[in-house]
Structure 1
Amino acid sequence: MKGSLSAAEVHRQYSEGVAAFRGQIADAALRERFTREADVFFRACALGVWQRDGASLTPRHVEYYNAIYTRGNPAPSILFWELSTAVSGYPGFRAPDFFPRMRACDKVAGSHLARRFTDLTVLMLLLFAAVDDVVSEAEAGFVNACADALGTLCDRDGLAEEKPPLDVGQFVTRRPAPDPAPAETPAPPAGEAQEEAPAPSLEELMAELDGLCGLEQVKADVKSLINLVKVRRLRQEHGLPVPPMSLHLVFLGNPGTGKTTVARLLAGIYRAIGVLSKGQLVEVDRSGLVAGFVGQTALKTGEVLQKALGGVLFIDEAYALANPDAPNDFGREAIETLLKGMEDHRDDLIVIVAGYTELMERFLHANPGLESRFNKYFHFDDYNGAQLMEIFQAMCRKNGYTLDPAGEACARAQFQALYDQRDENFGNARDVRNRFERAVARQADRLAALEAPGKEELMALTEADLKEEA
């Protein structure tokens, strides 16, 4: 059953785990600081776990978040839209401020607090991942990255391990094997495959691409690329020479402009025209490729490449792999492993790297092999005010909400202002989703005061629901 672990049980497990660890801290000042700061650190970690989940947040996520506190500390009371905003804006993992003092105590006293705290962090993050009773590969990758970051700091200080670290892979939820067919159901004849749901056709995928809001230049670029691949195949069939061509792509643009959606459609399109054998999309960022120890990054990146064979590997914020200020950063090991994998599997693997335009240009110049393999660029422009409104209306239709004339006029003006006043934090469709969720939350507060709202009232978003606080 989904969500079988209650918020009360989460609070109990969290509080007991933190309290048990606190009891091991002999230094009184460190113990007091840990007590004061641990809840804030672990709540930030929960945001990172849920950002990697990829699924929509639910009220259960809010319950879990509000359960992350220990006795004597204030209990959080976050609202759904506040949590959604915090998850989407999660800045990335960083070690807690008390961790250097913890490592210093270990060096002086020969204790193992820092290593044990790393294990506690792993256990707490897995607890947060259990909000839907599933620990996904992406969530496990994030937990591993957090543990690696803490472990690297311990290694740098020469802190010994008293036991092997927790293996996060043991907690990943595997797909159960299908139940055997009942005895009365005849098995298919030998050599005959079980019927599977048909993959989308090229026409269906192209129709979905055409139906995306905006992105006119990207759509034209995709169609041109498909035409190029088709003509190359025709030339091969007629025995004509075909010059080498890389199908790996660079997606340039701000967050929320549809890069992941287009990557998924491209994976299916390539499968439909015979370029790829499977057409799946595997999406990762730096945390899914980079580990904390020499040699581990190559293994971790290699595992991702194996999962992506036959499909598309989509690396978001790929520029994070190349840090010019840290020449020994493990991201370079990931890049080298990726380049080798792209060469070894050039006939059945396509890699798409994505991120901000300026940062991606620096990333591609960081390694000569990157420039030679990524020579096709798709530019994803920001959505204008009218397109943001179109996205908002589509969200309303999909979720069973309607806009009255005043509400529609209010929303249209808001999205135009959002576009006109955009800055480096502009989130495009992500901002639209955040505003939609806040409007839904305000509508719920408004309807709660009514005794028995009818269907039309439950569907209607009014001007009052859409107005943002100054």
Structure 2
Amino acid sequence: MKTPLSPAEVHKQYEEGVSAFIRAVPDAALRVRLTHELDAFFQSCALGTWKADGAALTPGYVEYYNAIYLRGNPVPSILYWELGTSVTGYPGFKTPDFFGRMRAWDKVANTGLARRFVDLFTLMALLFAAVDGVVSEGEAGFVNRCADALSALCDKDGLEGGKAPLDAKDFVTSRPAPAAPAPAEEVQEEEEKKEPEPTLEELMAQLDELCGLDKVKADVKSLVNLVKVRRLREGEGLPVPPLSLHLVFLGNPGTGKTTVARLLAKLYHAIGVLSKGQLVEVDRSGLVAGFVGQTALKTQEVITKAIGGVLFIDEAYALTSHTGQNDFGQEAVEVLLKNMEDHRDDLIVIVAGYTDLMGEFIHSNPGLESRFNKYFYFEDYDGGQMYQIFQSMCEKNGYTLDEAAGAYAKDFLDEMYENRDENFGNARDVRNFFERAVSCQSDRVAGLETVDKAALMALTQADLKRAAGDEEEPESPAAQEGQPPVDKV
């Protein structure tokens, strides 16, 4: 396999080959016509060549296609979804009108212009086939069929010369043989190193352990049951109606959307819907670039990592918020929709964000409306649930609360909930409060003369008050240990 060409190399070889041919055309009117029409013809040939390959089209082909132009002519600016649609819908090879004029000129002037054009076509089509470093059997077959069709017209007109000396089959790339399988002992060792995947029952237990989210838990269980029964019906040869498993998560930040998405990815894997079950989390900045073409590449790279699992797009409404004149969020959406169709059996997309803004996002594109028809609503945590989350953070991280500290934390989180505004962060605010409390505790413990395990674990009411901004002058280490304070001089 050869090293793939760069778009700049494709453009250079294309311009040099085509320009040299045009300069050799003796008829000035035909030269002008070719200058204006060859780009469109060869761009169409590239589409046919890539369709004949049958391999998945990558975003890199956008740059290759946009490199097929002569200096002075308009530079193509096709987008990834447009290129994919054009390749899929390629209507078949059509002899260009200017080829008839070439043959007519050859008859009058007794030249070999048309035959040389067949050679040029074969070279350019092979250039397009080789952009990925491989000329496949399908691509070579397409090139030869088209070249033969052009040569047959020359034969029909009685032009001198025969079949083009170039045979595309001579350029077919031998694909590397698959690597030899690893010895059974090595395979067994690798399998033993892997942690056992959680069972469906274990994953459902993890779901039940989440604080709050009663409606979401019920929705998840219902969805899992629906998929399980569908697979059972398929196994019995019974019909199943079409079903989209892509989801919309609605709610404020910190309500557990990412956690539930990660669990869903594993659940789908456990019941055989997804091949891997990984979660790839991203937002607008991870999908959108600053200029045409690069957004498609960036988005495709993220999607490729997510195939086999779940792609979770947080604050997805930012993709269609039209933040400026040169906004390429819509390009990311088009790439996303194409991949959701191409990989519908092994890719699930979850989009998340504020309820009102997500409604605008889904209705901004008919393709989004048709693919996202299941909505999970994540309600805000109340004060009691926030206290449960705080207690859980303390337990998991090895901190303890005495009665006074626990009562203060509960009152503080109740007040936080009652006074919430549009910036309310739910569990994120709880985590911030916990991290501030740990920092305050560390400052206090670092000043103690003697420290035992209990002191390292204890979060006191004073620590929590300082974390909440309810500042008190911290006691001296001596006073904290029951010793009389030392008089200051």
Q: Where on the TM-score scale, by shorter chain, does this alignment land: which range? A: 0.5 to 0.7
Q: Deviations over 1:7-52 (max 9, x none)?
A: xxxxxxxxxxxxxxxxxxxxxxxxxxxxxxxxxxxxxxxxxxxxxx
Equivalent position amino acid for 1:244 in 2? P
Give, in whole Å, the separation in 2 of the partners of 1:327 and 1:258.
34
1:469 aligns with 2:469: yes
Q: CA deviation at 1:443?
A: 1.4
Question: Which of the numbers 417, 423, 432 marks the counterpart of 1:419?
Answer: 417
Give, in whole Å, the separation in 1 of the partners of 2:327 and 2:338.
18
Percent identity, aligned pairs only, is: 72
Equivalent position amino acid for 1:446 in 2? R
Question: Which of the numbers 207, 213, 220 marks the counterpart of 2:205?
Answer: 207
Question: 1:188, 1:194 within 8 Å by CA — same for their partners in 2?
Answer: no
Local SS of the residue matching 2:190: coil
Q: Give the 5 Å matches for 1:241-260.
A: 241-260=239-258
Equivalent position amino acid for 1:207 in 2? A
Q: Please say which of residues 193-202 and 363-372 is displaced more in the overlay.
A: 193-202
Structure with max Cα Rg: 2
Q: Give the 5 Å matches for 1:183-262.
A: 187-188=183-184, 194-195=190-191, 196-262=194-260
Match of 2:336 in 1: 338
Give, in whole Å, the separation in 2 of the partners of 1:189 and 1:462.
55
Give, in whole Å, the separation in 1 of the partners of 2:430 and 2:235.
47
Question: Which of the numbers 330, 353, 372 marks the counterpart of 1:355?
Answer: 353
Equivalent position amino acid for 1:371 in 2? E
Give, in whole Å, the separation in 1 of the partners of 2:317 and 2:359.
8
Give, in whole Å, the separation in 1 of the partners of 2:424 and 2:222.
30
Gaps in structure 1 of 5+ consecutive residues: 1-185
Match of 1:290 in 2: 288
Q: Give the 5 Å matches for 1:22-421.
A: 187-188=183-184, 194-195=190-191, 196-324=194-322, 326=324, 328-421=326-419
Gaps in structure 2 of 5+ consecutive residues: 1-181, 471-489
Q: Please say which of residues 197-206 and 410-419 is displaced more in the overlay.
A: 197-206
Local SS of the residue matching 1:354: strand
Local SS of the residue matching 1:194: helix
Give, in whole Å, the separation in 2 of the partners of 1:366 and 1:192.
50
Match of 1:436 in 2: 434
Equivalent position amino acid for 2:184 in 1? P
Q: CA deviation at 1:293?
A: 1.2
Give, in whole Å, the separation in 1 of the partners of 2:336 and 2:378.
24
When residues 458 and 190 of structure 1 are mapped into structure 2, their CA distance, relative to the original with a 3 A threshold, is closer
When residues 207 and 296 of structure 1 are mapped into structure 2, their CA distance, relative to the original with a 3 A threshold, is same
Q: Deviations over 1:320-347 (max 9, x none)?
A: 1002464651000000000000000000
Give, in whole Å, the separation in 2 of the partners of 1:327 and 1:466.
48
Match of 1:4 in 2: none
Give, in whole Å, the separation in 1 of the partners of 2:183 and 2:367.
51
Local SS of the residue matching 1:427: coil
Local SS of the residue matching 2:227: helix
Match of 2:482 in 1: none
Q: Deviations over 1:35-75 (max 9, x none)?
A: xxxxxxxxxxxxxxxxxxxxxxxxxxxxxxxxxxxxxxxxx
Please report the RMSD computed on the Cα atoms of aligned residues, expressed in angstroms: 1.6
When residues 248 and 327 of structure 1 are mapped into structure 2, their CA distance, relative to the original with a 3 A threshold, is farther
Match of 2:83 in 1: none
Q: CA deviation at 1:235?
A: 1.6
Equivalent position amino acid for 1:438 in 2? R
Give, in whole Å, the separation in 2 of the partners of 1:437 and 1:452.
24
Match of 2:134 in 1: none
Equivalent position amino acid for 1:457 in 2? A
Q: Deviations over 1:102-136 (max 9, x none)?
A: xxxxxxxxxxxxxxxxxxxxxxxxxxxxxxxxxxx
Q: Deviations over 1:192-221 (max 9, x none)?
A: 683132211111111111100011100000
Task: Give the TM-score taking structure 2 as reference length.
Answer: 0.57
Equivalent position amino acid for 1:334 in 2? A
Match of 1:458 in 2: 456
Local SS of the residue matching 2:428: helix
Q: CA deviation at 1:453?
A: 2.2
Give, in whole Å, the separation in 2 of the partners of 1:269 and 1:448.
44
Give, in whole Å, the separation in 2 of the partners of 1:423 and 1:309.
38
Q: CA deviation at 1:449?
A: 2.7
Q: CA deviation at 1:187?
A: 4.7
Question: 1:447, 1:458 within 8 Å by CA — same for their partners in 2?
Answer: yes
Question: 1:317, 1:356 within 8 Å by CA — same for their partners in 2?
Answer: yes
Q: CA deviation at 1:315?
A: 0.4
Local SS of the residue matching 2:196: coil
Q: CA deviation at 1:461?
A: 1.0
When residues 452 and 365 of structure 1 are mapped into structure 2, their CA distance, relative to the original with a 3 A threshold, is same
When residues 408 and 191 of structure 1 are mapped into structure 2, their CA distance, relative to the original with a 3 A threshold, is closer
Give, in whole Å, the separation in 2 of the partners of 1:456 and 1:189.
48
Equivalent position amino acid for 1:358 in 2? D
Q: CA deviation at 1:266?
A: 0.3
Q: CA deviation at 1:225?
A: 0.2
Q: CA deviation at 1:319?
A: 0.6
Local SS of the residue matching 1:392: helix
Give, in whole Å, the separation in 2 of the partners of 1:235 and 1:222.
20
Q: Deviations over 1:403-422 (max 9, x none)?
A: 01110000000010011111
Q: Deviations over 1:252-306 (max 9, x none)?
A: 1111111111000000000000000000101111111111110111111111111
Q: CA deviation at 1:448?
A: 2.7
Give, in whole Å, the separation in 1 of the partners of 2:420 and 2:245.
33
Equivalent position amino acid for 1:368 in 2? P
Give, in whole Å, the separation in 2 of the partners of 1:193 and 1:461.
45
Equivalent position amino acid for 1:232 in 2? R
Equivalent position amino acid for 2:287 in 1? L
Equivalent position amino acid for 1:194 in 2? E
Local SS of the residue matching 1:278: coil
When residues 197 and 449 of structure 1 are mapped into structure 2, their CA distance, relative to the original with a 3 A threshold, is closer
